[in-house]
Amino acid sequence: MRKGEYIRDILAGDVGRPVVAHGWVKTRRDSKGIHFVQINDGSCFADLQVVIENGAIEESVLKQVTTGASVRVEGELVPSPASGQPVELKAKAIFVYGTADPASYPLQKKGHTMEFLREIAHLRPRSNTFGAVFRVRNALAKAIHDFFQERGFLYVHTPIITTSDCEGAGAMFGVTTLDLMNLPRYGEGPRIGEIDFSQDFFGKPAYLTVSGQLEAEVFALAFTNVYTFGPTFRAENSNTPRHLAEFWMVEPEMAFCDLQDDIALAEEFLKAIIAKVMDECLPDLEFFNKRFDPQVLETLEHVVKSSFAHVSYTEAIEILQKSGRNWEFPVHWGADLQSEHERYLTEEVFRRPVIVTDYPKEIKAFYMRVNEDGRTVRAMDVLAPRIGEIIGGSQREERYDVLLQRIRECGLSEENYWWYLDLRKYGSAPHAGFGLGFERLMLYLTGMKNIRDVIPFPRTPGSAEF
Ligand code: ATP
Ligand code: MN
């Protein structure tokens, strides 16, 4: 590692000592022969102000100290007369690693639009906004691991390539090494004309995973409490501010647990990780509060303190029907909740996160445990103001016969799920879990409006640059 301190530590340290700082120049201002240079190394929101007195640095070097350049500054840390910063670095020597032509450097001081910054995703991490976004993202990832590790959960790495199309959670990306210009096809028999995937890499059609849940269940039925945290893919052509083709999902799975335990964990989990990020990234969150959403801090504090509302799907439908609203998507028992309904429940009725349970089995996945009424399943969705669904979970069907029947009802092939059914034959146990969209939670934490702006390199329909 380079010799020198993070700017975060320099700013928190004592004055009067020699300091070596590294970073990229944010801005430079010259006044009466004195030069004020703000540098940032990504370690914290605040920049370090470097003061270069008249004649302190050779003119040929000084010329290269422009916005975007990467530098090393050696000097003395002194109290700063300027307001808003306790200390500044009085430069004695400067080394420029890489220059940045001010005429063409795309990241200027003026506020750029989010759309423009997406087009320069290789440089946007150096902006104030994206510095804050990715520090929060890092803190959130760590808070998630800490939460589960402190509770004895095993971190399991589930596969990215899969041959089981997980319950139609979304359209899938195919994975193949077949020559697309020259696909092998059956020349005879009942499948004549169809593509012969037995000649493909895996001997059958393969996809990028839409969820690690089924494999996480295998591990839960051996390690009791487990979680996955990995990339997930959906080939859905939905160009919305809430959907990505590649996103990250957190999926805990717990054996000897029912839906109530699952709900309790989801609530404890959200509160704990939000509190942790607020603790670690307050300056970043304050920036979001100031620049993007004046309610974000208040909302987060509220979520940490308040208890979530609980309502059954059937009750939710009644509330929506009594609302007197003109819904774009009509409300009746059996219909899925749409964004407009979710937002009404969280933002207007309950004004806090809401957990909706016991959905009709027809609108939920085959693996959810069927209730005694035979019509609903032990599902739970956590809905959050502004975002809508943030967590989807359920108690899983642990009874072999019921699961087999559900697989058939849903028109799925039982041969494909042989190992999943096997789990119900050998040492089956009640178990439950949920999936949290990591970037959805990032939207919530930061108040950013578009999911493309909370992931380093977004993949969306028509766009996979960088
Ligand atoms: P939605 O109705 O919003 O498309 P979903 O019902 O398809 O969500 P699930 O299949 O339950 O979502 O996936 C679990 C979680 O993953 C969701 O609660 C959400 O937080 C997140 N998620 C789902 N699809 C996407 C996506 N395309 N981009 C980012 N996050 C997603
Ligand atoms: Mn979806």
Total Cβ atoms within 10 A of residue 70: 16
- HEC assignment per residue over 241-269: CCCCCEEEEEEEEEECCCHHHHHHHHHHH
Instruction: For residues 301 and 182, give the distance between their C-alpha atoms in angstroms, rounded to a whole number.
Output: 58
pLDDT (tens, 9 = 90+) of the chain, 466 residues, equals: 677 899 999 999 899 999 999 999 999 999 999 999 999 999 999 999 999 999 999 999 999 999 999 999 999 999 998 888 889 999 999 999 999 999 999 998 778 999 999 999 999 999 999 999 999 999 999 999 999 999 999 999 999 999 876 555 678 999 999 999 999 999 999 999 999 999 999 999 999 999 999 999 999 999 999 999 999 999 988 888 989 999 999 999 999 999 999 999 999 999 999 999 999 999 999 999 999 999 999 999 988 998 999 999 999 999 999 999 999 999 999 999 999 999 999 999 999 999 999 999 999 999 999 999 999 999 999 998 887 889 999 999 999 999 999 999 998 888 889 999 999 999 999 999 999 999 999 999 999 999 999 999 999 999 999 9
| Dist. CA 249 → ligand 1 center (Å) | 9
**Is the distance from the beta carbon of residue 439 to the nearest atom of ligand 1 less than 6 Å?**
yes
Tokens in use for 387? 């975002």
Per-residue tokens: 313: 């799907």
Candidates 53, 3, 319, 274; CA nearest to 147 is: 274
* 238 Cα nearest atom in ligand 1: 27
Residue of 127, 139, 86, 141 whose CA lies nearest to 281 = 139
- Write down the pLDDT at residue 167: 56
Q: For ligand 1, say whether the CB of 212 is within 6 Å of any of its atoms.
A: no
C-beta of residue 405 within 8 angstroms of C-beta of residue 379 = no
Ligand 1 and 435: CB distance under 6 A: yes
Task: Using alpha carbons, select from 457, 453, 466, 465 the residue that is nearest to residue 231.
Answer: 457
Distance CA 133, CA 445 (A): 9
- Residue 43 CB neighbours (<10 A): 17
Encoding tokens for residue 246?
């590649």
> 210 C-alpha vs ligand 2 centroid, how far in Å?
10
Ligand 1 centroid to Cα of residue 272, in Å, is: 22
Work out the number of other CB atoms within 10 angstroms of the CB of residue 154.
16
For residue 166, what pLDDT is reported? Answer: 57
The answer to whether the CB of 379 falls within 8 A of the CB of 357 is yes
**Ligand that lies nearest to the alpha carbon of residue 240, given by its number in the listed order:** 1
Q: Is the CB of 171 under 6 A from ligand 1?
A: no
Sheet holding 154-155, edge to edge: 154-155, 225-233, 246-255, 431-437, 388-395, 376-384, 354-360, 309-312
Tokens of 76: 């003395």
Query: What distance in Å separates the CA atoms of residue 410 and residue 396, rounded to the nearest whole number?
Result: 16
Which residues 6+ apart lie within 8 Å of 310 measured at CB? 263, 354, 355, 357
